[in-house]
Amino acid sequence: MGSTEAWLRYFEGNRDRTLPGVDATNHLDAPLRAALARSLGRFYLGESSEGRIAHEAARSNDPALDGAMRESIALYVREEGRHARGLAAALRALGAALPARHWTEALFRRGRRLLGLRTKMMVIAAAEVVGVVFYALLAERVPPLAAMASAIAHDEARHLEFQVDYFARGFRGSPVAGVAAAAFLAIVSCAVTAFTLDHAPLLAELGVSRSEIVRRCADVAWHALRACADARSVVVDSADRRVTAASLVDALGVAR
């Protein structure tokens, strides 16, 4: 596991970074523009809806949290807000209005509120799995959005790595670690199903099958679970805390 102070330094160092801009989109075919606007609008809502988590983490007595982790979560949420602003710029470039609400965002927002902080963090982690795949797909197949999408994909992979560290601390030596892993996979399955259904128009325009999305998301989720299991098994010396599991950014091949 990485030290909590190292995570805080990472988020502090990333705090003032700006996302790359969006290139001209007027040459894109109308059906692709419409599908992009629809999908980006859904993700815009998701990226801008997590502010309450930081407040709950600040008050939580979760033993996996110390002062540095609480501050890191607050900065994590701010990064999601930066992603939302980048998506808003992309929507403007496409000539689309910002959406107000959508059922998928409302579903995950309510899911996060059902239980405690760990459940909410787990729901966000599942959303990060889908986010890594979605933004990497845009980086691969939509050149005007490639630079911005690649930067966000990298951030989302780092966020998932942060979640791995958080859950490794929280479930070290716990008899319910296996149950938590199963719960995470169940939430990921729901998130992937919702994504493939709700974003079917964009997937069709990009020539990507649902099975390909499921395969990619399963790969990301598997790497996260393996990294968490590896981190939980390591006895960490407080004077020399190092990231011992392979970086998800490297493992998933997510470029900056």
Domains of the chain, start order: 4-251 (1.10.620.20)
pLDDT (average), residues 210-237: 83
Which two tokens mark 54?
């930081």
Q: Which of 238, 197, 204 is nearest to 35 (CA)?
A: 204
Spell out the residues 6+ positions from residue 108 whose beta carbon is closer than 8 angstroms to its own.
46, 49, 123, 127, 191
What's the chain's average pLDDT? Answer: 86
d(CA 212, CA 198): 16
- The 8-class DSSP code of residue 28 comes to S
The continuous run of DSSP H or E covering 243 comes out as none
With pLDDT > 90 as the criterion, what percentage of the chain qualifies? 68
Q: What is the pLDDT of residues 17-62, one digit of tens each?
A: 999 999 989 899 999 999 999 999 999 988 876 668 888 999 999 9
